Structure formats: structure tokens, C-alpha cells
Amino acid sequence: MANPNVGKECILCPGAICDDCGACEMCDLDPTKRCDNCMKCLDTADYSGVLIDRVELSEGHKKRS
């Protein structure tokens, strides 16, 4: 399956274009493993949270007034 982010901005290197290198899909605790959402990386933090820096809406999505 093709990566839908190819051609969009890289999330790890702002200003660069995504070339589907896969670096953003690697595990933070074991860089040789692809992230499988085990959430063990959040167990090492004093809190669990995810920073949301933007929300992308698909075309045709209507904004609520």
C-alpha cells in the first residue's frame, strides 16, 4: 500500500518533503523495530499525553458554524 503522506511535508524534518523513508514509523525505545503502538514509551513518562500540533481535515469536510 502506498504511503498517503508521500509528497507532503515530513513530520520529522519540517520544510522537507516526505519521501516515505519510514523514520517516523520507528519505535522510540527500539529504533530497529517499527512502532506497533504498544505504548511502552509512555510508561517511562511521568504523564501520558500526545502533543497535537495540527488537525488535517479531508477535502469535502464541512466546518461547523
Per-residue pLDDT tens for 38-63? 888 877 666 667 788 888 887 766 66
What is the rounded distance in angstroms from the CA atom of residue 56 to the CA atom of residue 40? Answer: 27
User: Model-level pTM?
Assistant: 0.50
Mean pLDDT of 15-36: 91
Look at residue 8 and tell me whether its pLDDT is greater than 90: no
Greater confidence, 65 or 34? 34
Give the span between the Cα atoms of 3 and 59, in whole angstroms: 18
Distance CA 64, CA 46 (A): 36
